Amino acid sequence: MGELCLPERMFAAGEEPNGERVNTYHKPKRIKSIIEALDPDEVDFLRSTTFGKIISQAENPSFSGSFGQFVIVHMLRVKKKYEIWFLFAGRPIRMSLHEFAHVTGLNCKKIPIKNTKNRKKNPINEKLYWGELFGSLKFCLDREMRLKYACLAFTSCVLLPTSHFPRIIPEHVEMIREMDEFLAYPWGRVSFEMLVTGIKKKDEILLSQASVALPGFVDAIQLVFMVAVPQIKEIVPQNETVVVIESDSDSVAGCNEPQAEEGEEKDATESTTPQSPVRYCVNPAHVKALDEEAKVST
């Protein structure tokens, strides 16, 4: 097979910046916090929605910031507004709306045009739903209200975070008046466009910084890679301790940072509960080796 004709690279081969990490505003523990705040039947309902696939992916490796930095400086220049190409092991890996929808399971249909004809003549007199939904309650037992809280937390903290301390978006509160309409909204496309726009705003100077912060559901980059190149996942033996170094993005390098040397005292917080039959991690060193060897199946 002839040599592939690829778009121009952001950085010439061998001249990629040696940054440290991609910082994400989404933290995996937030999904866990949302789930733990709900009753079992409420969790089942949330899993049945468009958010279900992301919730069920807890067994996947947590996002590796150093992996993210490695792949983002291997981007190719593409003209399409909502498409990102990465170069890995001599092959292009595309992240378009199609791949994003596949790995997240989110609704990625077209964003509906706002209907201004049905707006009230004087919206100032319209009672905002925020006060009705939240009020002054410190706890809530109503199932529908609790699910609305969970969905709002999910969109603001998981799909559309723009800071390390995301807040519920008032516009989303108004949208959730009708729960079915809220769940049918194409949150996947909104999240995808935020992520891709955030990436494309980074020029060579910004990508050369020690760390690069990206908005939205950045984990999708790693999920796309795991589908395109399954070899980047490494199996972690059942009885092997997984050490995760905390950072601004919660987990710097997935679940694969250097482990304690033999004889060293294990972390006091190490879990003693039985481990899952198979666990995976994404090791940046392993990823770089695969890229250099260019020995991955296509």
Q: How far is CA 162 from CA 102, 150, 159, 205, 218, in A?
A: 23, 18, 10, 21, 11
pLDDT at 262: 38
Q: Strands (DSSP E) along 156-247, which ranges?
A: 211-214, 233-236
pLDDT at 135: 75
pLDDT at 9: 94
The 10s digit of each residue's pLDDT in 57-101 is 876 778 899 999 999 999 999 999 999 999 999 999 999 999 999
The 10s digit of each residue's pLDDT in 212-242 is 999 999 999 999 999 999 999 888 776 665 5
pLDDT at 258: 35
143 sits in which H/E element: helix 143-154
The 10s digit of each residue's pLDDT in 158-208 is 999 999 999 999 999 999 999 999 999 999 999 999 999 999 999 999 999
**Both tokens assigned to 98:** 């199609």
Residue 60 CB coordination number (10 Å): 20
Q: Strands (DSSP E) along 199-277, which ranges?
A: 211-214, 233-236
Q: Fill in the amino acid letter for 173.
A: V
Q: Residue 70: what are its φ and ψ, rounded to 5°?
A: -65, -45
Confidence tier at 120 by pLDDT (50, 70, 90): low
User: Is-above-0.95 flag for pTM?
Assistant: no
Query: What would the mean pLDDT of 112-139 be, rounded to a whole number?
Result: 68
**Both tokens assigned to 51:** 């958010």
> Using CA atoms, how far apart are residues 242 and 227, in angstroms rounded to an integer?
23
pLDDT at 239: 62
How, if at all, do strands 211-214 and 21-24 pair?
parallel
> Using CA atoms, how far apart are residues 256 and 95, in angstroms rounded to an integer?
24
